[in-house]
A and B are shown apart, each in its own frame.
Chain A
C-alpha cells in the first residue's frame, strides 16, 4: 500500500531554513496522476495547506507562505521536499506530507505521512 514518511531535523534555529523530505513507497511519483503535498498543523490548531507539486515539477503554493516556500521533487529517489526559509517560532508545527488523489468530482487527501514535529527555537 501507499506509504509516506517525513524526515528531517526536528529543531531549526531562526531565521534558518526548514528542510523536510517525504519518501514515498508503494507508488511511483513519476507515474503522474497525483499531486504531492505538504500540510502543517500548529500545536492545538487546525490544518494549513502549504503547497503541492506534480511529478513534472509544476507547483502551487499557499499565497500566505509563497514568498518563503519551495517544494521540489526527485523522481529518481521517489521523494519530494519542502524548504521554508526565514523561519520564526510561528513556524513551529507538525508537518505532514500527503498524496492528493483525483477523481471525476474533485480531489482529496487519501494518504498521509505520520507527521514530523518541527520546533523553531534558538
Chain B
C-alpha cells in the first residue's frame, strides 16, 4: 500500500493530452513539492519533472506538472508512442521523515 495514490493505468492516442494524478496528504504533498519519474520496461526510473513543474534538460516541453493542496498531476500533451511507460510520483513526507512514492501509473499509447 503506497502512501501516495495514483491510478494504476491511463491511456491516450497519439497527439492527445493525458494527465496522471497523484494524491497524498498534509505531511507530504501538502507541504513539499512533487517529483515525477518515467520508467520504461526493464529500465531504471528517469526524472521528468521536479519541484512539481521544473523540467530537466532533455525532457520535451510537452510534459508539464501542477500541484495544489494535497494533489499533483503530470500532463503530457501531443502524446507520442515513446511516452508509453510507467510514471511514478514522489514527495518527501515530513511526518515519516522519508521519501514516499505512488504505486505507479502505466501509460499506454493506443
- Which A residues contact B (CB, under 8 angstroms)? 37, 39, 45-49, 51, 60-63, 96, 103, 105-110, 112-115
Contacts and interface: CB of A to CB of B under 8 A. Distances in A.
B13 interface: no
Nearest to B53: A105
11 contacts: A46-B104, A47-B101, A49-B100, A103-B51, A105-B51, A106-B33, A108-B51, A110-B50, A112-B45, A112-B46, A114-B43
Contacts, number: 64
B37 A109 contact: yes
B46 A46 contact: no
Interface in B11-63: 32-33, 35, 37, 43-47, 50-51, 54, 56
Interface in B52-110: 54, 56, 88, 90, 92, 96-104
A63 B3 CA distance: 13
Nearest to A107: B92
A45 B100 CA distance: 14
A93 B54 CA distance: 30
Nearest to B96: A63
Contact of B51 (A106, A112, A113, A115): A106
A98 B45 CA distance: 10
B44 A46 contact: no
A106 B32 CA distance: 8
Contacts of B51: 103, 105-106, 108
